[in-house]
Amino acid sequence: MRYAYYPGCSLHSTSREYDMSTQAVCQALGIELEEIEDWICCGASSGHMTSELMALALPVKNLVLAREMSLDTAVACAACYSRLKVANKVMSSNGNPRVPYVDEIVRTGGGGARPYRGEAKVKHLLEIVTDEYGLDTLRARVTRPLDGLRIAAYYGCLLVRPPEVTHFDDPEDPTTMERLIAALGAEPVDWPYKTECCGGSLALTRTNVVAKLCHDILEMAADEGAECIMVACPLCQSSLDLRQAQVNRRYGTDLHMPILYFTQLIGLALGMANKELGLNKLIVSPDSLFRAKALV
Amino acid sequence: MSLQLPLAESDIAFLHEVERRSGQNLARCYQCGKCSAGCPIAFEMDHPPHQVIRGVQMGMRDLALSSRTIWLCAACETCSTRCPQDVDPAGIMDALRRIAYAEGVRSPEQDVPLFHRLFLGSVRQFGRVFEVGLIAFYNLFSGHLTKDLVIAPKMLLKGKLSVLPPSMRHGKGMKEMFARAEALEAELE
């Protein structure tokens, strides 16, 4: 199994531990990731909120590079995943007047002469692990089952919505991560907020809104008995982890909910070292929880 | 008796502009309010999403473009996933934001478009986002000088923020792309 790997900006900065744990786990499982050389930002929310054409041209420039590699593209960030998939949907559609304009912009940026029509398939790493690598194969590789660990799966927005773009599981009640949690030997928590929004795109500008949304999510997870939350998006992780102290101050709560990437939890179940998985980079430390569960 | 609403020509032109830019037929919206009911940020908005859409149906350009709503919408796509009439309210918000952004319409949520401008400025220069630079400029230009000063040192210690910008080599061709897009976007209209 070999993929063109698109890490995106967050995995090279605020979410390095997602990149580290992704690379470590994929290497252990024999999933080869070849990073797209000279990848650029997908434009994220700022792109699609302000410019119709750059919202498409930025992802397409990357997809043209992936097409040259003749590999499917593996994406770790749910926001990048969404932007790349929207671009593929538009570029492969018939008669959308934006398509030739996007081709022209990408050409201007040195992105190859051949028009792009959505040839580079885009997959989220979660899909690659659960569907292509397979949960049965993964279960057989687990050396340290996460016995008794109660995990709330948090999907957030852009993995599952809009469904006609991502085609990822059920948009209102996805269960992909729950199946993964069970395969790792842990216990998935049944809770109603798994596809609520963390407010990620307002992280810097309206931190109070983010704090309110994160408070509701964290408290619901705690109320339903979760000991930690599993995520598959660097923006969800940053909101819930980085802002947790602010949530506690603002709402007088005493939450201590580690927010872990699914790759970190897979790595833990494969017996990998904390440092390899970047567990020390999390703001809300999972150390005491893992000690209590004899997972370290 | 005419059943047509007495809208001015300019009102109808605005409605059509939003329809063209969003690819949506706004007549489909029958104001059930499901978008607002599921909107995680409606509590902070001046007009919940279905009211903004009603405003556009009525050609109320100022209400729509200077609302807090268009900049507070987090693009979570809950509304578009649930709309019983297959309208894409998140796409309509994008169209409204793009018009407001291009025309520099003042909004009580000025910090949000400022953030987008700085974010894309970083992409234009480096090809990737230089977060430390983005946060510093955002705090400077928005006047929130001490924002996140508690979190930033923690993030630096954990190696989550890089004080050095990304290599300039990824920024090759970016300025040309942005300039071409700006010219072509005017053509699309």
B140, B178: one domain: yes
Cα dihedral: A200, A170, A122, B165 (round 10)? 10
Domains recognised in chain A with CATH numbers? 2-123 (1.20.1050.140), 142-292 (3.40.50.11810)
Average pLDDT over residues A173-180: 98
CATH of the domain at B81: 1.10.1060.10
Cα dihedral: B47, B51, B53, B59 (round 10)? -90
Reduce the DSSP state of residue A152 to 3 states and report it.
strand
**Those residues with Cβ within 8 angstroms of residue B93's Cβ, 6 or more apart along the chain or in another chain:** B49, B52, B69, B70, B73, B75
Best of B82, B116, B122, B124 to disrupt the A interface (most A CBs within 10 Å) is B116
B16, B99: one domain: yes
Answer whether residue B82 is part of any domain.
yes
Contact A230, A262 (CB under 8 A): yes
Cα dihedral: B72, B74, B75, B77 (round 10)? -110
Best of A6, A11, A13 to disrupt the B interface (most B CBs within 10 Å) is A13
- The predicted structure's pLDDT at residue B2: 62
Residue type, A7: P
CA distance B48 to chain A (A): 15
CA distance linking residue A206 with residue A199, whole number of Å: 9
Residue A185 has pLDDT above 90, yes or no: yes
Contacts 24+ apart (CB under 8 A), B39-43: B39/B73, B39/B78, B39/B79, B40/A196, B40/A197, B40/A199, B40/A213, B40/B74, B40/B76, B40/B78, B41/A197, B41/A199, B41/A202, B41/A209, B41/A213, B41/B72, B41/B73, B41/B74, B43/A212
- When pLDDT is cut at 50, 70 and 90, the band that residue B107 belongs to is very high
- The predicted structure's pLDDT at residue B1: 56
Contact B108, B45 (CB under 8 A): no
- When pLDDT is cut at 50, 70 and 90, the band that residue B155 belongs to is confident
- The predicted structure's pLDDT at residue B188: 80
The model's pTM: 0.96
Residue A246 has pLDDT above 70, yes or no: yes
- When pLDDT is cut at 50, 70 and 90, the band that residue B166 belongs to is confident
CA distance A137 to chain B (A): 33
Beta carbons of A205 and B81 less than 8 Å apart:
no
Token duo for residue A4: 């063109």
Closest residue to B138, CB basis, from A9, A49, A204: A204
- The predicted structure's pLDDT at residue A147: 96
CA distance A202 to chain B (A): 7
Residue B154 has pLDDT above 90, yes or no: no
- For chain B, the domain total comes to 2
Beta carbons of A108 and B180 less than 8 Å apart:
yes
B99, B119: one domain: no
The per-residue pLDDT of chain B, averaged, comes to: 93
Q: What is the largest CA-CA distance in chain B?
A: 72
Domain end, chosen from B76, B103, B130, is at B103
Residue numbers of the domain that contains B41: 9-103
Share of chain B above pLDDT 90, in %: 77
User: Percent helix, strand and coil across chain A, each rounded to 5?
Assistant: 50, 10, 40
B127, B183: one domain: yes
Residue B79 has pLDDT above 80, yes or no: yes
Domain end, chosen from B62, B82, B103, is at B103
Cβ atoms < 10 Å from Cβ of A104 = 17
Domain end, chosen from B103, B135, B166, is at B103
CA distance linking residue B77 with residue A161, whole number of Å: 6
CA distance linking residue B113 with residue B108, whole number of Å: 11
B163, B137: one domain: yes
pLDDT digits (tens, 9 = 90+) for A126-152: 999 999 999 999 999 999 999 999 999
Residue in chain B lying closest to A78 (CA): B76
Answer whether residue B2 is part of any domain.
no
Tokens 């000025």 sit on residue: B110
Residue type, A237: Q
- The predicted structure's pLDDT at residue B150: 79
Residue B160 has pLDDT above 90, yes or no: no
pLDDT digits (tens, 9 = 90+) for A214-239: 999 999 999 999 999 999 999 999 99
- The predicted structure's pLDDT at residue A198: 97
